[in-house]
């Protein structure tokens, strides 16, 4: 029997991964003799938009002219990140407890992230939480990524979820657009670096505390 399904974004939604991401980007900048260009907490929001966003912002900050360097440095960033992926990463308070509560209440729970799948799996294993979810879909699991709705549906199907009862928990305009493209309700968290911008995206609900999530989900998809 298919279950109602709650799909979570990873970076900036379930966990604050910004510290390890910034560290990986700065490894690239240091390799070019630029030093540490990005810093927490001011640049945490940039970090949660992904590797290329960090490289682009860093090069712009130092006046680097050749932006093709972003593509050249991106594999090095991924390697640096994979080498030390979880030393600074923490789940947001109550995140895993809320996931467990949803599962116990009969929901399927899965992750749909624009982080490469192998890195997302590596991170969740390093944090001891891979078994807390029924499925995980990454940026390269399919030929397309969010905001295309296909990864969301894959995360639902692989978790044994019911496509008619789905909601997406996220923290960015990409998550909001993914939910809209799939015609499912979105819940955007307000405790990440971009939390103050969530209201303008008009999600179905906003979440200030993970303790409130099970009730919010029940109201949205039963």
pLDDT digit string, tens, across residues 187-204: 999 987 777 788 899 999
Give the pLDDT confidence score for residue 133 in this predicted structure. 98
Claim to verify: residue 74 and residue 95 sit in the same structural domain: no
d(Cα 72, Cα 64) in Å, to the nearest integer? 14
Claim to verify: residue 77 and residue 96 sit in the same structural domain: no
Claim to verify: residue 8 and residue 112 sit in the same structural domain: yes
Give the pLDDT confidence score for residue 194 in this predicted structure. 74
Claim to verify: residue 12 and residue 25 sit in the same structural domain: no
Burial (CB < 10 A; 0-12, 13-18, 19+), residue 195, is: middle
Claim to verify: residue 22 and residue 112 sit in the same structural domain: no
d(Cα 5, Cα 164) in Å, to the nearest integer? 9
Claim to verify: residue 109 and residue 208 sit in the same structural domain: yes
For the chain, the domain total comes to 2
pTM for the model = 0.95
Claim to verify: residue 107 and residue 11 sit in the same structural domain: yes
d(Cα 130, Cα 124) in Å, to the nearest integer? 5
Claim to verify: residue 63 and residue 94 sit in the same structural domain: no
DSSP letter at 11?
B
Residue 26 — pLDDT band, cuts 50, 70, 90? very high
Claim to verify: residue 150 and residue 41 sit in the same structural domain: no
Residue 34 — pLDDT band, cuts 50, 70, 90? very high
Give the pLDDT confidence score for residue 175 in this predicted structure. 96
3-state secondary structure of 82: helix
Asked whether 124 and 133 are in contact (CB, 8 A), the reply is yes
Helix (H), strand (E) at residue 206: strand 205-207
d(Cα 179, Cα 148) in Å, to the nearest integer? 9
d(Cα 36, Cα 121) in Å, to the nearest integer? 28
Give the pLDDT confidence score for residue 113 in this predicted structure. 97
Q: Is the pLDDT of residue 39 over 90?
A: yes
End-of-domain residue from the set 83, 110, 127: 83
Give the pLDDT confidence score for residue 49 in this predicted structure. 86
Please name every residue paired with 205 in a beta bridge, in sequence order, or none if there are none.
187
End-of-domain residue from the set 46, 65, 83: 83
pLDDT digit string, tens, across residues 92-131: 999 999 999 999 999 999 999 999 999 999 999 999 999 9
Give the pLDDT confidence score for residue 48 in this predicted structure. 86
Q: Which residue is it, tokens 């970090």?
A: 47
Active site residue 20: no
Please tell me the least confidently modeled range out of 43-52, 76-85, 186-195.
186-195
Claim to verify: residue 134 and residue 48 sit in the same structural domain: no
Domain of 186: which CATH number?
3.40.50.1000
Give the pLDDT confidence score for residue 192 in this predicted structure. 79
Claim to verify: residue 98 and residue 59 sit in the same structural domain: no
Claim to verify: residue 153 and residue 167 sit in the same structural domain: yes
Give the pLDDT confidence score for residue 58 in this predicted structure. 98
Laid out side by side, the sheet with 135-137 consists of 135-137, 108-112, 3-8, 161-170, 186-189, 205-207
Q: Is the pLDDT of residue 85 over 90?
A: yes
Instruction: Note down the domain range covering 123.
Output: 3-16+89-221
């Amino acid at each position: 029997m298919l279950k109602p399904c709650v799909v979570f974004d990873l970076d900036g939604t379930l966990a604050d991964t910004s510290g390890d991401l910034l560290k990986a980007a700065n490894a690239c900048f240091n390799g070019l003799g630029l030093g540490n260009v990005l810093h927490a907490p001011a640049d945490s929001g940039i970090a949660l938009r992904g590797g290329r966003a960090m490289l682009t912002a860093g090069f712009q900050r130092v006046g680097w002219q050749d932006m093709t360097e972003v593509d050249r440095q991106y594999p090095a960033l991924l390697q640096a990140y994979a080498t030390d992926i979880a030393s600074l990463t923490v789940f947001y308070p109550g995140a895993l407890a809320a996931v467990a509560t949803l599962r116990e209440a009969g929901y399927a729970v899965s992750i749909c992230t624009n982080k490469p799948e192998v890195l997302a799996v590596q991170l969740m294993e390093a944090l001891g939480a891979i078994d807390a979810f029924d499925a995980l879909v990454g940026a390269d699991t399919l030929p397309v990524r969010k905001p295309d709705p296909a990864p969301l549906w894959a995360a639902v199907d692989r978790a044994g979820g019911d496509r008619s009862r789905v909601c997406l928990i996220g923290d960015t305009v990409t998550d909001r657009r993914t939910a809209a493209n799939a015609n499912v309700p979105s819940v955007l968290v307000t405790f990440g670096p971009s939390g103050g911008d969530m209201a303008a995206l008009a999600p179905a609900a906003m979440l200030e505390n993970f303790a409130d999530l099970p009730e919010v989900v029940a109201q949205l998809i039963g």
